[in-house]
Structure 1
Amino acid sequence: MYIPPGFTTITPYFFVDDAERFVDFLTSAFGGVEELRSLRADGRIANTQVRVGTATVMISEATARYPGMAFSFYLYVEDADAAMARAIAAGATHEMDVADMPYGDRQGGVRDPRGNIWWISQRLVQEPYSA
């Protein structure tokens, strides 16, 4: 099985209203880099690929057949406090304060302008999760 560079076995694919604005959010809030874009005849995004850290996500403008839908994501970052601040500055709303968690992450949460929840986490220990 061949998986293109930057992709994983499961790759998130967003259908959102105002896809252009969502791409701007991903690049501003999480340092995403747009890798590829194709447009529909009406000039809206048919598909774009944005790399965020080691992951690639795909985005398309929502349609009647594929309406916008919200998701929840667990995002690892170098500095959870700084990433939370960038996400809020880029238009996200606060869901949960950043705090040290008993499972070894420093984590907070935001909801982006499209309704997706992002659990922004910084791993504090160099060990796997344990029960």
Structure 2
Amino acid sequence: MKMPDGFGAITPYLFVDKASEYVDFLKAAFNAEELSRTMRGERVTNACLSINEARLFISDVTDDYPAMTTSIYLYVEDADTSIAQAVSAGGQCEMQATDEPWGDRTGGIRDQWGNIWWISQHLGLG
């Protein structure tokens, strides 16, 4: 199977209101790197971002593709620091980081667009 470099078989694709603002939030909250952006007038038709070597697509909503929320599990180097950074960028804390029985330290934030980010640090226990 052929895929573009840096992509896995599954890549989240989020449709959000004010996609440009959402890209800015992801940069501030998770140090996302914007790899590309395609515009149609003022509308983002496709932005590709990289967060910790994972790819994510973002697009402005349209009549055919309305806003929809999702939940994303994101591995980071330090869960507590990343949660604090995401809250500082405008996210709302859903759950403080705790050590989970499956070997991750996990907490969560909800972004202003309604998406939940489960921010996890693998502790190497499993």
**Secondary structure of the corresponding residue to residue 50 of structure 2:** strand
Q: How many residues align?
A: 126
Per the TM alignment, residue 126 of structure 1 is displaced from its structure 2 partner at its CA by 5.3
Q: Name the structure 1 match of 2:18.
A: 18
Residue in 2 that maps onto 1:4: 4
- SS in structure 1 at match of 2:95: strand
Counterpart residue identity of residue 4, structure 2? P
The question of whether the paired residues in 1 share the 8 Å contact of 2:102 and 2:125 is answered with: no
The separation in 1 between residues aligned to 2:98 and 2:125, in whole angstroms, is 18
Match of 1:104 in 2: 103
Q: Distance in 2 between matches of 1:23 and 1:97?
A: 24
CA RMSD of aligned residues (A): 1.0
Compute the displacement of 1:2 (Å): 1.2
Can you list the C-alpha shifts for 1:46-86, whole angstroms capped at 9, x where unaligned?
A: 11100001211111100111001000011100000000001
Report the secondary structure of 1:91's partner residue: coil
Deviation string 1:68-116 (CA, Å, 9 cap, x unpaired) is 1000011100000000001001111010111111211111111011100
Structure 1, unmatched stretches of 5+, are: none
- Secondary structure at the aligned position of 1:21 is classed as helix
Distance 1:73 1:51 in 2: 14
User: TM-score scaled by structure 2?
Assistant: 0.96
Partner amino acid, structure 1, of 2:21: R
For residues 57 and 77 of structure 1, what CA distance do their matches in structure 2 show? Answer: 15
Deviations 1:16-49 (A, max 9, x none): 00001110111111110000011013x2211110
Matches within 5 A, 1:20-59: 20-41=20-41, 43-59=42-58
Secondary structure in 2 matching 1:46: strand
Aligned to 2:15, the other structure's residue is in SS state strand
Unaligned runs of 5+ in 2: none
**For 1:82, what is the secondary structure of its paired residue?**
helix
What amino acid maps onto 1:57 in structure 2? L
